[in-house]
Chains A and B, each alone.
Chain A
Amino acid sequence: MNTLTDRYVFAALSSIPEQQRGDIDRELRASIADAVDARLDAGEPPADAENAVLAEFGDPQRLAARYADRPLYLIGPELYPDWRRILRILLLTVVPLAFVAATLVRMASDPEDPAAAFGAAISASITALVQVTFWVTLAFAVIQRTGTGRKEGLKQWTPGMLPQIQRHSGISLSDTIAAVIVLAFFIGLLLWQRVGSLFYLDGEPVLVLQEQLWNFWLPCIIVLLTLEAVFAVVVYAAGRWTYALAAVNAALALLFTVPVLWLLANERVFDWSFLSNVDWGAAAANWIGTVTAAAVAVAGLWTIVDGFRKARKTAGQAAPPQQASR
C-alpha cells in the first residue's frame, strides 16, 4: 500500500549500519504513519498527506546521516584551514616543478620540437594540479571520517604560527614565481641551444650563438641568471624592497647587461652563418644585432630603475610596527 513510504524508508535505511536498521525501520514507519494520520484527520486527501509528510522529512540521505551520526560534508571547519594550507604549499611547489621537469625531459629527448615540449609541460602541470588536489582532499576526507585529530585541526594552533605581516611593497608571490619561471626559461633556452636549436634547416640544427661562447661567457651568464632567480626569492622572503636590495639588484643587472652589450658590440654573440643559409646577408645581421643590444640595454635599465623605485615606495610608507609600539 504505502509505496512512497516504502521507497522513502528503503532509501533512508540503505546507508545505515545493518544492526540498527530493523529498529529504525519500525520507528520511522510509525512516525510517518502518525504524521499522515494527523493530516488525514484534518481532512487532507490520503495521497497529498503522505506526500506532504515525506516532503517534510526531507532528503533521506540527510536523515540517514543524522541517524548514523555521519558528517554531511567532506572536510569540516576543524580541518578546513589545514587542508587549505597544505594544499596551497603543495600546489605552489609541485606544479612549477612538474612544469620545469616536463620541459627539461622533453627537451632532452626531443630537442627538435619546442611546441611539443611546451605542450607536455602544460599537460604535466595540469595533471599535477589535479592529482595533488585529489589526493590531499581524499586524505583529509579520510581523516575527517575516521576522526583522528578532530577537535582543533591537525596541530594545535599557537600564536607563533602567525605569518609575518606583508607590507604593501608590491612583492606578490605570483610575481616572484613568474620571475623565477622566466629566468628558468631563459636558462633552458640557452642550454637547449647547446643540444639542439630554435631553428632547423633541412633537419639540421642551426647554431644561432657562437660556439666559443661556451668556453667562458655562457656559463657565466647562466650562473648570473641563476643568481637573479635566487635574488627574486630573497626579495620575496625579505617581504619588502630596501635600498640595499635595490643596490644588489642593480649590480646583478649591470653584471648581465654590460658584458652582453660588450659582446654584442664586438660581434661575439651571433653565429651569422645561419643568416647566409636563409639568404639574408649583412644588413639583417646589423639590425638583429642593434635590436638585441637595444632590448638588453632597455631591460637592464628598467630593472635597475624599478628596484630603486620600489625601494623608495617602501621607505615612504608607514613606520614598521616595532617603532609604532614604542
Chain B
Amino acid sequence: MDRNDIVSSMVLELRRGTLVMLVLSRLREPAYGYALVKSLADHGIPIEANTLYPLMRRLESQGLLESKWDHGGSKPRKYYRTTSEGLRVLSEVEEQWQVLCGGVNALLRVAVDGSGGEDAGGSGYGHADESDRPGSVSCCSDDSDGNGGGVQ
C-alpha cells in the first residue's frame, strides 16, 4: 500500500466517524437523500449515495430519523428529518466532538511545535472543561449556520 492509499484510507475513516453526526445535523430541516449527498459534497464532504441511503435507513430504525414520502412532485421523494431523540443524541455527540477536536488539535500542535510535555495537550474524551481551552479549536469552531460540528 503506497502513501496515497494509506492517506485515503485514514481520511475515509475520519469521515466515517463524523458522518452520522453530520447527517443528524443537516436533517434538522427535512431533505431527501440525493439532496443531502449534494449538500455534503458542496461542503467538501463527498459521500457515496450507496453509503448514505442505507445509513439513513438505519438511523430511522434507531429512532433518530423519521421519514415521509412526498408524492406531490414530479417524482416520489422520501424526505428524512431528525427526530427529537436524534437531536438530543446529536447534542451530546457534538459536545464530545468539540472536546475531541480541542484535544486532537492541541496534541497535533504540540507535535509540530516540538514542545512536548505531558500537560501540553488536552486529555480529550469526557472532560468538557478542556474543550474551551483558548486557541485549541481550529477545525471544530461553531457553525455559523447553526448546523454544528461541520468540517468545512
A, B: real partners: no
Interface residues of B (CB under 8 A from A): none
Interface residues of A (CB under 8 A from B): none
